[in-house]
Amino acid sequence: MHPAKVKRNRVKLLTDLPNVGPATAKDFVLLGLSSPQHLVGKDPMKIYQDLCRKTGVRHDPCVLDVFISVTSFMNGDPPRLWWDYTAARRKKYGVL
């Protein structure tokens, strides 16, 4: 969902989260993260690495940006566009 449309008190499904559509929701479920509450306190890099390992594919780094945006939101930050996290991700983890 586009971050501008996210209402924290209405987040019940994974697709209610900022920047999460059906494909990302499916990735979360594949990893055993079937509700937004399962993302509280999670390490976005670990989620990304688990997804790459589980699927046998190195996913685009923008997937990590989405995971950072979602875990940040679930830990209390306001909803933001996933690309708002790209510069910080590159600084912390490199280009990948």
> Mean pLDDT per segment of 10 residues, for the chain of length 96 residues?
95 98 98 98 98 98 98 98 97 88
30 vs 7: CA distance, rounded Å: 25
How many other CB atoms are there within 10 angstroms of residue 67's CB atom? Answer: 28
Annotate 30-71 with DSSP letters as a single string. Answer: HTT--SGGGGTT--HHHHHHHHHHHHTS---HHHHHHHHHHH
- Closest by alpha carbon to 50, among 38, 76, 18? 38
In the prediction, which pLDDT does 90 show?
A: 96
H or E element, residue 13: none
